[in-house]
Amino acid sequence: MKLFKLPLLFVFTLFAGLGITACGSIETAAQDDCTSIGWQIGTKGYNDCFKARVYERKLDYSLPPGDQPSPSLL
């Protein structure tokens, strides 16, 4: 029984770590987009740009309306 729990715990931890890393990358990419075009962090223009970029990136990575995710091969 212990042999089964250890790999299962490892896989769960691995996927949780990847999920946390992926969440930060959208915000980081949005911040890079806004600062690369000259906005200063903390200004109103930067905040508007950041919100718009995060929204656009979330739309890029989401499924189209009504589409169902396909089953994984794992």
Do the domain assignments include residue 19? Answer: no
The tens-digit pLDDT sequence of the chain (74 residues) is: 455 565 666 665 656 555 555 556 889 999 999 999 999 999 999 999 999 999 999 888 887 777 776 777 76
Would you call 31 exposed, middle or buried from its count of C-beta atoms within 10 A (0-12, 13-18, 19+)? middle
Do the domain assignments include residue 55? Answer: yes
SS3 of residue 70 by DSSP = coil
Do the domain assignments include residue 46? Answer: yes
Do the domain assignments include residue 48? Answer: yes
Do the domain assignments include residue 50? Answer: yes
Q: pTM here?
A: 0.55
Do the domain assignments include residue 39? Answer: yes
Tell me how far CA of residue 16 lies from CA of 19, 23, 62, in angstroms: 5, 11, 19
Do the domain assignments include residue 74? Answer: no
**Residue 29: what residue type?**
A
Q: How many CB atoms lie within 10 A of CB 52?
A: 13
Do the domain assignments include residue 67? Answer: no
In the chain, how many domains are there? 1
Domain that holds residue 39: 24-62
